[in-house]
Amino acid sequence: EPYVDRVERDRMGSVIGFKAGSQSPAADQPRRKIMLAAHLDEIGAVVTQIDQGFIRFTEIGGLDERVLMGQEVVVHGRRDLPGIIGSIPPHLLAPGETSNEVDMEKMHIDLGLPSETVADLVQICYIISFSRTPTELLSGLISAKAMDNRASIAALVVCLQHLQRMQHQWDVYAVATADEEWGSFVGATTQAYAIRPDAAIVIDLTFANVDEIEVELNKGPVISLGPSNHPVIRRRLIDICNDLEMKYQNEILPGGAGTDAFAIEISREGVPTILISIPSRYMHSPVEVVHPKDVERTGRLMAQFIAGLEEAFVGELVPKLE
Classify residue 245 by its DSSP letter.
Answer: T
Q: Which residues contact 181 (CB under 8 A, 6 or more apart)?
A: 39, 41, 42, 43, 60, 61, 62
Helix (H, G, I), strand (E, B) or coil at 224: strand
For residue 145, what are the CA distances in angstroms to 148, 210, 212?
Answer: 8, 19, 25
Kindly list the catalytic residues.
180
Beta strands in the chain (DSSP E): 6-9, 15-19, 33-39, 44-51, 54-60, 72-76, 80-86, 108-110, 127-130, 135-136, 142-144, 171-177, 199-207, 222-225, 249-252, 273-280, 288-290
Classify residue 198 by its DSSP letter.
Answer: S
* CA atoms 276, 281, 286, 287: torsion sign: negative
Q: Which of 155, 312, 322 is nearest to 236 (CA)?
A: 312
Distance CA 130, CA 136 (A): 18
Q: Which of 233, 224, 292 is nearest to 253 (CA)?
A: 224
Distance CA 181, CA 171 (A): 28
Q: Which of 204, 197, 250, 253 is nearest to 223 (CA)?
A: 250
Alpha carbon 267 to chain centroid, angstroms: 19
CA atoms lying within 13 Å on the CB side of residue 188: 30
